[in-house]
Amino acid sequence: MKQKHFIVGALTFATTAFAFASTNADRTEAALRQLSNATKNQRGGQHLLNLASLRSLRDEDLRPFFSQFTQHPDWTVQVHAVLGIAELSEEQTVDPWLVQQIAPTAREHLIAQALDDGLLKKEQMHALLKWPPLESTPRLLLLADLNAIGEEIDSDMLQELTDSTDLSVAMFASLLSKNKTNIDQTTKSLRRATNSNREDSLQRTLQLIRQYSFTEATPWLISLLEDGSVVLTPNQRYWTLFTLLTVDAETGIEIWNREFHSSPERRDQVRYLLLVLESGIAPSEEMRERLQIDLDDQLLGNMFKAGQINGLQSKSTTNEIHALSELVQQGHRGTIDWAFRLAKDTLTDSQSEQFYKALSVIPKDANSKRKEAAIHAFTQLIQVAPNTAWAILQEAKDDSEQQELLLLAMLQFSNSDAVEQASKLRRIGVNKADVLALLLVARSDSPLQQKDQECLGIIASGGGHLNPALETQAAWLYLKRMGLSDKALAAVSTQ
């Protein structure tokens, strides 16, 4: 009888062990398929979101993964690959040699992004400028960046760019040269260009003037607005005025006062007040009267009150900061973007803490814009006031939508503190919040409990009902935890 029980017990154990092994094998295969499919070209560009999601892990074991994609036929994938390698490098810089190996379109976009992200230092810029085949657009960006940091730039190289057939290159290069003859000649070419070419070239030039705060372009901007050196559409006038306000507020305001009817429509009230706010100008009472703004108007009134931060800056009071958070809650996209930029660039840490804290907690039945704002706010709050952020996380009801949004924010960037905080949360099921917390915990170097390892495998094989970008992260983390990094790298598609 005992012998029979032993045999039955042994068979049961063997069956269970086989089932577990089979499940592991199935999950591994599913995770490999997930990672492979995630990196194949997809209509709509989901594969690019997946690659960006893997970049956000800042996992050094992914270096060979990104190296495989530097020669991918899709130039957008090449950009992600080189940026991914740079972000994982010890120097946190882009390798000029790699920049030279990728497609021209990829190179242009890569250099623009790398300059924005601070992944190109002076040494790399000079090295790339010495490379003869470098295209005119990235060459112009590198020269503009060097000029902005006070470096002397090659005048012959700049003169060559003023003769470029690409008007967007030639126009800004002419302005950068400060040579009136160059500027006049290129402006004539801009005036004679086709409508589409003029639109593209003008908008790109205006963008670069704002990006580099190029005050020397002021006379040229005034000539466009006042002298009619180029016939502008109403939209082009709007953006030209915005650019002038950015580099020369005093002159810009004089022209701003003449740009709309004495009884502006609501659309113009919003657009022209936002023009002032985006330019870093505090709106005056005269401006309020000119635009006929009622301070009790939830959108326009809060725009006006929050706009005072532009002038007060560190002296801003609770009232202005409250108006700024109220403005975001109105859901107007343009003002939301401005409010977050203002909080990041202008407010002190204690002031921005007040702003981000107010937006991190969502009301019931919040719409999608309000939820997006909460994720953005909590991401910033983690960086300026982590203790406040973690207190909000601890107070969030378990498995609530609030907790989910906070965890989504924590997944936006690589932060060991965020991983530690996620590990403190109670995880007893496989609902959305538990799954998101596990994704954070899996980023650490600490061993996972067997149940967590199994749950990660389920998520990696698509059982967590997450978006594809997070499922891609889960697939990589699961395979890495299973000691299958090499197999995972072999599974990805570079075609």
Residues 128-182: pLDDT tens digits? 999 999 999 999 999 999 999 999 999 999 999 999 999 999 999 999 999 999 9
Q: Which residue has the tokens 């599913």?
A: 30
Instruction: Please choose, from the candidates 449, 452, 442, the residue with its C-alpha nearest in 3D space to the C-alpha of residue 474.
Output: 442
Question: Can you give the pTM of this predicted structure?
Answer: 0.87
Give CA angle at 272 (267, 274), nearest 5°.
100
pLDDT > 50? residue 13? no
> Which tokens in the block code for residue 382?
């983690």
Structure confidence by residue, pLDDT tens digits, 271-299: 999 999 999 999 999 999 999 999 999 99
The predicted-structure confidence for 326-354, as pLDDT tens digits, reads as follows 999 998 989 999 999 999 999 999 999 99
Q: What is the model's pLDDT at position 495?
A: 52
| 8 A C-beta contact, residue 180 and residue 191 | no
Q: What mean pLDDT do residues 362-372 have?
A: 92
Cα 121 to the chain's mean position, in Å? 20
Where residue 93 falls (left for φ over 0; alpha for ψ -120 to 50; beta otherwise) is: beta
The distance in angstroms from the start CA to the end CA of the chain is: 62
* Confidence at residue 18, expressed as pLDDT on a 0 to 100 scale: 32
If 0-12 CB within 10 Å is exposed, 13-18 middle and 19+ buried, where does residue 10 land?
Answer: exposed
Place of tokens 């060097």: 146
Token pair in block for residue 238: 């709007």
Question: What's the CA gap between 413 and 301, in Å, rounded?
Answer: 35
DSSP letters, 49-109, are: HHHHHHHTT--GGGHHHHHTTTT-SSHHHHHHHHHHHHHHSTT----HHHHHHS-HHHHHH
**Residue corresponding to tokens 């994720």:** 375
User: How far is the C-alpha of 116 from the C-alpha of 374, rounded, in Å?
Assistant: 25
Find the helix or strand (DSSP H, E) in which 404 lies. Answer: helix 401-410
Task: Report, as an integer, the average pLDDT of 400-407.
Answer: 95
